[in-house]
Chain A
């Protein structure tokens, strides 16, 4: 060994030694980085992977159940939407008939005293495949009745129970069902697919089915809360009465899609009464021609 190094000049041996030491330093650095990455990246990822895999499996299970349920679904709401809610052309006859029904309410409901003449604007086409017509109308309403009146326009155009729930409300319910009772998706799907008017007029069978499915789990209190605080509660109180009956009798359900764009509330001449002026928009599909 000594003879081997004796022939090599000392500075070269020193240089090679320093280079190897430098390479060793780099290797140590790489070891440290690997361990730090393991601690900072891999460990949290490993912790979350089983949870994600579990969630994926649950979702796949829910998809299988939902597919089965969807295949049993009869009738298509899309046809109703195309025909009545978002028709190809604005159906003025049907639109005015809705306000006719509302003006009838002034005789039957104490909360609604009068309705002004209805002013209909021009049809306007937009780039998103829709055309709209603006409608201006004023109502004299009691303070409590204003809720009902504005809810009527919030419900106008909604077809199923799912449509009456906000995306946030739906997300919370789905999350809870996924965590507690994934198979409950079938009952939820049945509930979501219920017609809004049918549910509003006869909510018990739908709600009992939900209660049976989710009895004893924390999903039930959440569902009860949603049923009592969402637009569904307003639908039950408003469409569940005489109005729902009239709309069904006169074949006005589902209602044309109406959006209350501008609402102006001014105090009326008597205490507790208000004038509620609305600018509504009714939508139809814009023909491609």
Chain B
């Protein structure tokens, strides 16, 4: 019985000593960290910008206000350097600049069509090029001739070459068909719809 009592009192004393040590260690650590948080952390996480010491939040706010000020200054400068400040006029001028360049487009399409010429014989013929400025859409009509029964294959190659143009955003495949002319030759008429990149 007395042995058990002494064992219990020994364990209790060990627990008490351990607890006191833990408490003292935690207290000192916590105190040091609180001091660091109050005195050291602000000192080493603040930076001097524009003559003021700023923490992260203040720095972020300063950055945002600088960006806003730049935007405002840019607008003010633009008002001063551009002589016309009529909003209706300006919006129409912007719309004008967004219009696709029909001639440039025709040249590019013709260049591609020319690549399919074989021994001086044209094989891709363009009947019309319609450019609609409002939705930047283009409709291309024509046909592939002088290619024998391969006219549909050539049309597919022509479509792929058009699709690879940087100005093309979307291209709807035409109907692939082959017609036999009265003289026994083949042709593949096509209508290709394109949406241009803005």
Residues of A contacting B92 with CB < 8 Å?
86, 130, 157, 257, 259, 283
Residues of chain B with a CB closer than 8 A to A215's CB: none
* A106 contacts B by Cβ under 8 Å: no
Q: Does B181 interact with chain A (Cβ within 8 Å)? A: no
Q: Tell me, in angstroms, the Cα distance from A21 to B30 when the chains sit together.
A: 7
Contact of A86 with B88 in the complex, beta carbons under 8 Å: yes
Number of residue pairs spanning A and B whose beta carbons lie under 8 angstroms apart: 205
Which of A35, A66, A257 is the one whose CB lies under 8 Å from B80? A66
Chain B residues bordering chain A, tally (CB within 8 A) = 65
Pick from A16, A34, A193: contact of B23, CB under 8 Å = A16
Whether B47 contacts A185 by the Cβ 8 Å rule is: no
**Would you call A34 and B45 a contact (CB within 8 A)?**
yes
Contact B83 A77 (CB under 8 A): yes
Q: How many residues of A contact B (CB 8 A)?
A: 78
Main secondary structure, interface of A, reads helix
- Interface residues in A148-204 (C-beta closer than 8 Å to B): 150, 154, 157-160, 162-163, 166-167, 185, 188-189, 192-193
Q: Offer 5 A-B interface pairs, CB within 8 angstroms, sorted by A.
A: A23-B30, A73-B83, A158-B96, A263-B133, A267-B126
Other A-B pairs beyond A31-B41, A82-B86, A265-B102, 12, CB < 8 Å: A10-B15, A16-B26, A17-B23, A17-B27, A20-B26, A21-B22, A24-B29, A49-B63, A73-B83, A192-B82, A259-B92, A259-B95
User: Which chain A residues have a beta carbon within 8 Å of chain B's beta carbons?
Assistant: 5, 10-11, 13-14, 16-21, 23-24, 27-28, 30-31, 34-35, 37-38, 41-42, 45-46, 48-49, 52-53, 55-56, 59-60, 62-63, 66-67, 69-70, 73, 77-78, 81-82, 85-86, 128-130, 146-147, 150, 154, 157-160, 162-163, 166-167, 185, 188-189, 192-193, 257, 259-267, 283, 285
